[in-house]
Chains A and B, each alone.
Chain A
Amino acid sequence: MRRILSIALVLTLCLTVLTALGPAAGAEDAAVLNIALDGQPEHLDVAISTMDMASEVVFGSVFEKLVAFNGDSQVIPELAESWEISDSNRVYTYHLRHGILFHNGDEMKADDVVASMNRWIDNAGNANSLVGGAHFTKVDDYTVEIRMETGTLYLNEMIAGLGQQGVVMPASVVEAAGNEPVKEYIGTGPYAFDEWKADRYIRLKAFDGYQPYGTEGDYSGWGGYKTAWYDEVNFYFPGDNTTVVSGIQTGEFDIADRLNGDDYDTFVDDSDFTIFSDEAELPMLIFNKAQGVAANPLVRQAVQAVVNCEDLMYASYGNPDLYKLYSSYMFESSANWYTDAGSEYYNRNDPEAARALFDEAGWTDSDVFRILVRTDISDFYAQAQVIQEELRGIGVQCELVAYDASSYSDVRNNHPESWDAFITNFGPKVLPNMNLFLSSTWAGWCTDERIASDLSAITSGTDLDEARQTWEALQAYMYEEAVPVVKFGTTQLSGVCRSDITGAFIKERLVWIDAHPVNG
C-alpha cells in the first residue's frame, strides 16, 4: 500500500513540475505570423483545384493574377499594368508589367502568362465556357491577347474572382505538370513557398525580389500595394477547435481562419481579440434532376416547402451571428446580382403545404428520398439529419447515404441512380452562371431549358441592367417552379485574430496577405 502511495506521489510530482514549466513564454518573434487553418489542403495548385483551403494559403501571397479585385469589387491591375477590350468585347489585350520576378529568379514574360492562363482555361469549367474554348496567345514578350468567338463583358471579373484561379506560374512548371497539380510552387507574390511538412505545417518566406504595385499603403479587398510584413508565415492544421481556441489564447496562433459557432462567444467580448467575418458560403441541398424521385419538380418543391432554414443553419453553425437568412442565390455583397426574388418560397417551414405537394407528386409510403452525405464534414451531416427529421415529421421516408469523401465523389458523379440529393456549399461568385449548381454537366444536372438559355443570355449580353432583370426573373422562376436546389442561408464565417494585428482581412476573410501589426 505504501508503495502505491509513493508511486502516486512521484507521478503527481512529475506532473506538477511539467505543468509549472508552462508554455514557453516570450519566444514570440515579431517577424513571424502563425495562422491556424481549418484543415490541410491536398496541394496548393489553385489553378486546377476547386478547394478553398489552398487559396487561403497562396492567394495573393505566393501567386498573383493578371488582375485583381479591390475592396469595392472593381477590377484593378496586378501583373498586367493595363489592358484593352475591343468594341465587340471579343478581344482582350493585356500589357504585362516589366521586371516582375518569379521566386526562382526568372523574369515573368508573355510565355509564362500564356501557358498558365491556357492551362487554367482547360481545367476550369467556368472559365472555359466563358471564353468559349478560346486561348491566350503571345503578341510580344510583354503583351498577350485572347480572341473569343462571342464577346463577354466579364473576363476580367472571371480572372480576378475567387475559386479556381488563373494564377501565373513559370511556363516550365506548368508544362511539366499537365493536368496534374504542379510539383513546384513558384509564383510572383511577396512570399515564396518554403516548406511543407506533411500533416504539420506549411511555411512561406518573404521574397526579396518582390516588386509592389501601386502606391504604398493602398491595399483593399483582394489587391493593391502588397508588402511582406513578416519574414516567415506558418500555417498549422490544429485539427480541432479546442486546440485552435487555446492556441489563439496562448499566442501560439495569431490568426485562426474559421471559428466554430460554439467558440464564438469565447472571443466576442474580449478586447485582446478581433473577430472578423465575411459572407463565406451558401450551403444548399442540390437535387438529382437527372433521375430518381427528385427528377419530379413537385418533389423538389415539396422539400423546399418543408425545410426550416433557421433550424438548419442554427444546427450547424450554432450562433445566429454566424449566418444570414436570405433567399438570394448570389451574395448580398456581390455588386450587381443580389435579389430577393422568390423569397416567399424561401424558409417556408410549412409541413402541410409540403405534404400536399408530396401527395400531388404521387408520393407513396414505399418511396424513399435519399440524401448523399460525406462523413467528414460535420456541418453538412448535421443539416442532412435535420432535413431527414423534418421529412420524417410529414411521413416521408428519408435515408442518409453516407460515404467518406473519396467514395462520395465517386458515387455522386458516377452513380446518380443511388441518390436524390446532396449537400454542399459554394463561395461567392462573380456571375450567376458561375454557380456550378446551375450547370447541366455538374452533379445534380440542371438541364432546365429556361435556366440554360437565360444564363447564356446574361453572360453574352452587353447591357448590365437587362442582364440583372433576366437574373431576377430567373431566380423567381427557380424558387417557384424549377427548384434545382434548396438554399439554406448564407454563412458569415468568422475568424479570430489577436487584436495587435490588423489588415484588410478583417473585412475580406480569405486574404491574410495584408495582415500586419497595428502600429506597423
Chain B
Amino acid sequence: MTDLSSVRRELRREQRRLNIRRFFRNRQAVFGSLIVLLMLCVAVFAPLLAPADPLAQTVSHRFAKPGEGYVLGADKLGRDLLSRIIYGARVSMTVGLSVGLCSMLLGMTAGLYACYYKSLDNVLMRICDGLSAIPSTLLAIALMAVFGPGIPNVILALSIVYTPRMARVSRSAALVVKEQTYIEALRSQGASATRIIWRHIAPNIFSAVVVQASYYFANSIITEAGLSFLGVGVPAPQPSWGNILAEGREVITKAWWMVVYPGLATALAVMGTNVFGDGLRDILDPHTN
C-alpha cells in the first residue's frame, strides 16, 4: 500500500510538472493569467496606485474632462475617475474570486455527494435543475431584491446562482469516475464513503471543476457589473465598474469618459479571465476542446 501511494504521489508530481510545462507553452493561458494577475495586483495595491482618494469630492469639478488634474476625468460629484476605476477592480476581483470559490466548494460538495448517494441525488439534482432553469440574470435580480444591495450580498446571490450549475458539472464528472473499477474495489474493501468521495473521486474531477470555476469567475464579474448597472448590485459611493457605468449612461452625451474607461476595464478583466479559463481548460482538460 505504501509503495502504491508513493507511486501515485510520484505520478501526481509528474503530472504537475507536465501541466506547468504545458502552461508555459500555451500562449492563451500565459496571456490570460498575466491579465488576471495584473487585475489582482491593481486590486490589492489600489491604495498605492490610485492618484487620489476615490471618495474625495470636489463638487465644483463635476464632470471635469480628462487631463485637468484628473487623468481620466471626474464623475458627477467631482471624484477622480481613475482612482474609482482602480478601486473598482477590488470589487470585481473580490466578487469574482469569492463567487468562483464558493460555487466551486459548494457545487463540488453537492455534486460529489449526489453522485454517491442515489436518494440524495434525486432531490439535489431536481433542485439544481429547477434553479438552473431560471435565467441567471433574472434569478440574480430577484435574489438581490431579497438581500438588498451590497458586496457580500452580491457574492451570496451569485453563489446561489452558480452553485447548482457547478453541482451538475461536478456530478456528471464524478459519475464517470465512480463507474471505474478501482472505486468499486475500494468500496468492497470497506473504505468509508467520506474517504472514497474526498480522497479518490474529488481529485479526479478537480480539473473539470477548476475550469468551470474560472468561467464563473468571468461570468460573475460580468453579472456584478450588470447588477450594479441596473442599480441592484454594489451601491455607491463604493466604486464598482457597474455603478460607474450606470452613472455614465445618464451623461453619455456629455461625459464619454464615464462610459469608455470603466467599460474598457470591465472588458479587459472579463477577456483576461475568459482567456485564462480557455488556457486552463486546454491544459487540464484537453479532451473537451
Which residues from chain A sit less than 8 Å from chain B, CB to CB? Answer: 240-242, 245, 260, 262-263, 308, 311, 314-315, 318, 373, 375-376, 378, 381-382, 385-386, 388-389, 392, 400, 402-404, 407
- Chain A residues with CB under 8 Å of B76's CB are 315, 382
Nearest first, the 8 A-B pairs at minimum CB distance are A402-B235, A311-B59, A375-B231, A385-B237, A315-B59, A402-B149, A389-B57, A262-B254
Segment among B101-109, B244-252, B281-289 that sits at the interface with chain A: B244-252
Q: Are B235 and A407 in contact (CB under 8 A)?
A: no
Contact in complex: B249, A407 (CB < 8 Å): no
CB < 8 Å neighbour of B250 from A373, A376, A378, A392: A378
Question: A311 to chain B: closest CB distance in Å?
Answer: 4
Write the B88-115 contact mask toward A (1 if CB under 8 angstroms, else 0).
Answer: 0000000000000000000000000000
Contact A245 B253 (CB under 8 A): yes
Q: List 26 A-B contacts (CB under 8 A).
A: A240-B249, A241-B250, A245-B253, A260-B250, A262-B63, A262-B251, A263-B253, A308-B59, A311-B57, A311-B60, A314-B62, A373-B235, A378-B247, A382-B76, A385-B57, A385-B77, A386-B57, A389-B56, A400-B236, A400-B237, A402-B148, A402-B149, A402-B150, A402-B235, A403-B148, A404-B232
CB of B37 within 8 Å of the partner chain: no
- Asked if B11 is at the interface of the complex by the 8 Å CB criterion, the answer is no
Measured between beta carbons, the chain A residues less than 8 angstroms from B150 are 402
Given the interface pairs A318-B62, A400-B235, the reply to whether A242 lies near B252 with Cβ below 8 Å is yes
B55 contacts A by Cβ under 8 Å: yes
Nearest chain B CB to A173's CB is how many angstroms away? 33
Of the candidates A375, A386, A400, the one having the most CB atoms from chain B within 10 angstroms of its own CB is A375
In the assembled complex, the Cα of A407 lies from the Cα of B153 at a distance in Å of 15
Whether, in the assembled complex, B176 has its beta carbon less than 8 Å from a beta carbon of chain A, the answer is no
- B267 on the interface (CB 8 Å rule)? no
The reply on B145 being an interface residue by CB < 8 A is yes
A residues in contact with B231, CB < 8 Å = 375-376, 404
In the assembled complex, the Cα of A260 lies from the Cα of B253 at a distance in Å of: 12
Binding site secondary structure of chain A: helix
Which single residue of chain B is at the shortest CB-CB distance from A374?
B231
CA distance A392 to B54 in the complex (A): 13
Closest to A246 in B: B253
On whether the beta carbons of B236 and A381 are closer than 8 Å, the reply is yes
Chain A residues near B254 (CB, 8 Å)?
262
State A407–B144 Cα separation when bound (angstroms). 11
Other A-B pairs beyond A260-B250, A375-B231, A386-B59, 12, CB < 8 Å: A240-B249, A262-B250, A263-B253, A308-B59, A315-B57, A315-B76, A375-B232, A376-B231, A378-B250, A385-B236, A389-B57, A402-B148
Q: Identify which of B55, B232, B236 contacts A392 (C-beta below 8 A).
A: B55
Distance between A496 CB and nearest chain B CB, rounded to angstroms: 15
Question: Please, which residues of chain A bring their CB within 8 A of the CB of B55?
Answer: 389, 392
Q: Who on chain B is nearest to A373 by CB?
A: B235
Chain B: CB-nearest residue to A401: B148
A314 in contact with B253 (CB, 8 Å): no
Which residues of chain B come closer than 8 Å to A386, judged between CB atoms? Answer: 57, 59, 77
Chain A proximity of B30: nearest CB distance (Å): 27
Given contacts A240-B250, A385-B77, contact A407 B145 (CB under 8 A): yes
Instruction: For the complex, give the distance between the alpha carbons of A395 and B120 in Å.
Output: 54
